[in-house]
Amino acid sequence: MKKKQSVDSLVSLIFRTISYITFFSIILIISIVIIDGARFFKPSFFFEYPKKAMTQGGIGPAILGSLIMIALILLISIPLGLLTGVFLSEYGSKSLIGKIIDIAVTSLSGVPSIVYGLFGLTLFSITLGFGTSILSGSLTLSIMTLPVIASSVREALVALPRELRESAFALGAKKTETIFKILIPAGKKRIITAILIGSGRVIGETAPVLLTGAVFYSTKLPTSLLDPVMTLPTHIYFITMSYGVEAQWMAKATSSFLLILILIIYLIAFQIRKEEKNV
């Protein structure tokens, strides 16, 4: 008995040590990236265009481009993800089409981002003629975000007490009324968390946007959805690949700002999830 307890304690110690090493390694990496880039922050950096071969100026167009794309992505993916999750949870659990959609959603979650980029380039940019544009990039990233939102909506609805549905039906509520007026509001915190996590993921994607929606440098702000934009991750990529040491400060500063933005999104998501658990 003592030998078994000793082995269990050793295993627990090993896993605890690995967890601490992983945690502090992540904190160290995040801290280095943020501190190394944050020293270049100044008000003009967040509003100006890049100047003199990316050695001066700021990232104003890249910030605006990323925000526009995120807004359009959420506008497309939230309704589709919500409806898909509702269908899988409430209607498709026993039907053939429901099982096919379930497999498709699960499979899409593991597809590499470059594959989404090639798909978006082929379908949206070339076949549909949208070219390199906000619309092509947003549609491509919406497909990436869809499985995250759909899976989370389904899990949120499935996790709700069965009595909630039965009580609604007993009071004469229709199926659609039960779903949209009772179940979805009851699971809204989980759904919002999923949306935020999906946003945090796509705001840092490079390959899909590089192939479908972003340009190296833009001399004007976009005036339509068919215009290309600069984005934060592609801006970092272009500077790192194409410019020398004099421009690397901008890549570091942009990386720091992007990481801070993603951390803020995730912290909000975790806080919402924490509040849900405490209810």
Q: State the alpha helices, DSSP H only, in the chain.
A: 2-38, 60-90, 96-108, 113-120, 134-158, 162-170, 175-178, 184-186, 188-202, 207-212, 232-242, 248-278
Q: If pLDDT is split at 50, 70 and 90, which confidence band does 3 have?
A: low
Q: What is the pLDDT of residue 278?
A: 59
Q: If pLDDT is split at 50, 70 and 90, which confidence band does 134 have?
A: very high
The 10s digit of each residue's pLDDT in 72-85 is 999 999 899 888 88
Superfamily of domain 43-278: MetI-like (1.10.3720.10)
Buried b (16+ CB within 10 A) or exposed e, 138-176: bbbbbbbbbbbbbbbbbbbbeebeeeebeebeeeeeeee
CB-count exposure of residue 209 (10 Å: 0-12, 13-18, 19+):
buried
Q: What is the pLDDT of residue 276?
A: 63
**CA atoms lying within 13 Å on the CB side of residue 41:** 12
The 10s digit of each residue's pLDDT in 54-67 is 888 889 999 999 99
Q: Please tell me whether residue 232 adopts helix, strand or coil conformation.
A: helix
Domain ranges of the chain: 43-278
Name the percent of the chain lying above pLDDT 90.
Answer: 31
The 10s digit of each residue's pLDDT in 84-111 is 888 888 877 677 787 888 888 888 878 8
Q: Distance (Å, rounded) from C-alpha 107 to C-alpha 150?
A: 13
Q: Distance (Å, rounded) from C-alpha 143 to C-alpha 232?
A: 20
pTM, 2 dp: 0.86
